[in-house]
């Protein structure tokens, strides 16, 4: 054993330990579930057995319906988020540059951030009908206000010396945005995206129950009509797992890296 | 290189919390000739940063004028290079990109900017860290970058606000000697603000004494260059000038 292998091993051991610790409660929950449903002879109309859910998952994988619903949900989130970012970041930047723009929009942003997502569903279905447009609009709303607000926050936290340094090196308005404000605000922007997507994901499931014919939310809601509790529970597990995967494997690492790479180290 | 003229400059802040007006600078006039090194000393809160920030164009004067080469100063611009106490390096840019920033803003081709930045980094012996990020450098090295970033943009005047106050005493003396060397080689025009009398006398041709927002006294420093610490700590003229300046600061 070499000396340099030791820290790597210790690191791996710590990682494995963390994974075991995170998984353990779920394993116990599954055992409890299986035990209770079998022991109390719970009717499948009230709550499914673990094995029924696993069978439903197998069925969904074979006929492709799981991929259809999951894919539909993810595509809506991606499109709604993309549109929101394209508009929110420039607005946040404009607010960071101009005090007047910031003063005008800040109260509006605060108000609409509270409405995040779900409250927009009724009006969205009136405007866009029951389908793609309404859901993308709901996602857009969940992400837009949070990201715009965080962009503004990010610009505000850039030390004034950095702006002054850039200005006295000859940076005009556009260079200031591109070279200082955008990179300086990036950690906050990514945090905003992560928070906004959290809202968006919850809002998406709610919206899909009402306003569409595909997606995880729809899958849940449709199963209820047929008393298919195993499909309902499968859908719930998928909603949770998909978000955890998205957050842990994509958003959290992205946020960490942005902060490491772009974060302003305060106090020299 | 152009002359800097400050005429009856005043700055009154309004503190909305206490509802008070603070006269940070009152009727300050000064002239800095091309190639001259002028230091402004005074205790903390006497208005040094205010004076520098007005000249840099970061603040608007309440009254008075600032002329560079006869033209009034309006807002910050590349004709006045600034070195900050907090270094103010862009943390998301490498050392090289930081130094190349000014030339790039002037629209020079990238390769040319980088070549120029490299030459300036060599001037302070930092070419080997060109591709590192500022946070990987010690405070002293960061401020060397801060100084050459301002120099690489070839400003008419260099404005320095207590640039060496945040580093340890040993590094500070090295940085002071390096700045003296750069000045002796290139003769840029420098306005240097500090609360450290030793530093002011060591570096400058002329020391201006600022107290409670007013210029009180002007002390010429007729000490030969090159100036290096081992010689000056033994030098009776230097010691006498420091003593005289110190007592003037205390009396003001
Ligand atoms: N933005 C501001 N608003 C109100 N008062 C200020 C502001 N900036 C500085 N002052 C006050 O003006 C005076 C001079 O400050 P400053 O120029 O920073 O002094 P120095 O750099 O010599 O320490 C101090 O009394 C300080 O409290
Ligand atoms: Mg100061």
Q: In degrees to the nearest 10, what's the CA dihedral of B15, B19, B21, B22?
A: -50
pLDDT at position B216: 94
Average pLDDT on B40-67 reads 97
Q: What is the pLDDT, as a whole number, of residue A1?
A: 45
Which CA distances in Å does A188 have to A77, A111, A146, B93?
A: 20, 20, 10, 18
Give the residue, by CA position, lying nearest to ligand 1 atom 6: B13
The pLDDT of residue A3 is 54
Asked if pLDDT for residue B197 goes beyond 60, the answer is yes
Neighbouring-strand partners of residue B157: B80, B189
Cα B207 to Cα B47, B153, B194, B204, B248: the distances in Å are: 15, 26, 10, 6, 11
Distance CA B189, CA B2 (A): 8
The closest CB to that of B76, out of A168, A179, A263, belongs to A168
Does A178 sit behind a cis peptide bond, omega within 30 degrees of 0 on the bond before it? no
Residues of A in contact with B97 (CB under 8 A): none
A169 in contact with chain B, both atoms CB, cutoff 8 A? yes
Q: What is the pLDDT of residue A266?
A: 42
What is the least distance, in Å, from the CA of A84 to any CA of chain B?
25
Produce one character per residue of A46-65: b if its CB has 16 or more CB atoms within 10 Å, e if not.
ebbbbebbeebbeebeeeee
> What is the Cα–Cα distance from A99 to A102, expressed in whole angstroms?
5
* CB pairs A-B closer than 8 Å: 74
pLDDT in the model for residue A268: 32
What is the rounded distance in angstroms from the CA atom of residue A140 to the CA atom of residue A215?
A: 17
Residue that wins the pLDDT comparison between A210 and B146: B146
- CB A268 to CB B101 under 8 A? no
**Tell me, what's the pLDDT at B168?**
94
Q: How many CA atoms lie within 13 A of B17 on its CB side?
A: 0
B2 vs B67: CA distance, rounded Å: 10
Domain boundaries, chain A: 48-54+62-262
- Note whether B84 contacts A: Cβ–Cβ < 8 A: yes
Q: Does B136 touch chain A (CB under 8 A)?
A: no
Q: How far apart are CA B180 and CA A193, in angstroms?
A: 49
φ/ψ of residue B15, rounded to 5: -95, 105
Q: Which of A22-26, B6-10, B175-179 has the lowest mean pLDDT?
A: A22-26
Percent of chain B with pLDDT over 70: 100
The minimum CA-CA distance between B5 and chain A, rounded to whole Å, is 19
pLDDT number for residue A225: 87
Closest-approach residue (CA) in chain A for B148: A169
The stretches in chain A having pLDDT less than 50 are: 1, 265-268
Instruction: Flag whether residue B99 sits within 8 Å of chain A, measured between CB atoms.
Output: no
Which residue is it, tokens 């539909």?
A72
Q: What is the pLDDT of residue A116?
A: 66
Give residue B226 CA to ligand 1 midpoint distance, Å: 35
In which element (H, E) is residue A215 found?
A: none
pTM above 0.80, yes or no: yes
Q: What is the pLDDT of residue A79?
A: 96
Q: What is the per-residue pLDDT for A226?
A: 87
| CB B48 less than 6 A from any atom of ligand 1 | yes
CA A179 to chain centre: 28
Contacts of B81 in chain A (CB under 8 A): 168-169
Q: Enter the CATH code of domain A48-54+62-262.
A: 1.10.3720.10
């Amino acid at each position: 054993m070499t000396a340099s292998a030791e820290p790597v091993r210790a690191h791996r051991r710590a990682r494995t330990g963390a994974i075991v610790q995170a998984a353990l409660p779920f394993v116990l929950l599954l055992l409890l579930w299986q035990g209770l449903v079998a022991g109390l002879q719970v009717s499948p109309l009230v709550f499914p057995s673990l094995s029924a859910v696993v069978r439903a998952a197998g069925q969904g994988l074979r006929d492709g319906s799981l991929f259809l619903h999951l894919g539909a949900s993810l595509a809506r989130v991606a499109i709604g988020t993309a549109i929101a970012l394209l508009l929110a970041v420039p607005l946040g930047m404009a607010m960071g540059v101009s005090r007047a723009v910031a003063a005008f929009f800040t109260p509006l942003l605060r108000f609409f951030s509270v409405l995040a997502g779900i409250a927009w569903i009724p009006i969205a279905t009136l405007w866009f009908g029951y389908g793609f447009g309404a859901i993308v609009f709901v996602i857009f709303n969940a992400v837009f206000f949070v990201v715009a607000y965080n962009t503004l926050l990010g610009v505000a936290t850039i030390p004034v010396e950095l702006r002054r340094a850039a200005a006295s090196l000859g940076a005009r308005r556009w260079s200031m945005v591109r070279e200082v404000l955008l990179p300086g605000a990036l950690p906050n922007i990514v945090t905003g995206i992560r928070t906004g997507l959290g809202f968006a994901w919850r809002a998406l499931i709610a919206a899909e129950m009402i306003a569409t014919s595909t997606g995880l939310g729809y899958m849940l809601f449709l199963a209820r009509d047929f008393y298919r509790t195993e499909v309902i529970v499968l859908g719930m597990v998928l909603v949770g797992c998909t978000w955890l995967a998205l957050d842990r494997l994509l958003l959290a690492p992205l946020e960490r890296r942005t902060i490491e790479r772009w974060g302003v180290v305060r106090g020299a | 290189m152009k002359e800097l003229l400050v005429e009856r400059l005043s700055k009154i802040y309004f503190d909305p919390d206490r509802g008070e007006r603070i006269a940070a600078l009152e009727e300050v006039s000064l002239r800095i000739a091309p190639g001259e090194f002028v230091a402004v000393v005074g205790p903390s809160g006497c208005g040094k940063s205010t004076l520098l920030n007005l000249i840099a164009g970061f603040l608007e004067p309440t009254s008075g004028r600032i002329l560079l080469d006869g033209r009034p100063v309006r807002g910050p611009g590349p004709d006045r290079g600034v070195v900050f106490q907090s270094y103010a390096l862009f943390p998301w840019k490498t050392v090289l990109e930081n130094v190349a920033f000014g030339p790039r803003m002037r629209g020079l081709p990238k390769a040319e900017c980088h070549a120029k930045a490299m030459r300036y980094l060599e001037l302070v012996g930092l070419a080997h860290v060109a591709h590192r990020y500022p946070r990987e450098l010690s405070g002293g090295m960061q401020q060397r970058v801060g100084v050459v970033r301002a120099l690489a943009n070839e400003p008419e005047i260099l404005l320095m606000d207590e640039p060496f106050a945040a580093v340890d005493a040993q590094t500070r003396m090295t940085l002071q000697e390096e700045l003296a060397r750069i000045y002796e080689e290139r003769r840029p025009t420098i306005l240097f603000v500090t609360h450290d009398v030793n530093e002011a006398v060591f570096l400058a041709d002329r020391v201006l004494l600022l107290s409670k927002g007013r210029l009180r006294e002007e002390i010429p420093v007729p000490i030969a260059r090159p100036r290096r610490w081992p010689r000056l700590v033994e030098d009776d003229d230097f010691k006498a000038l420091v003593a005289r300046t110190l007592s003037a600061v205390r009396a003001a």
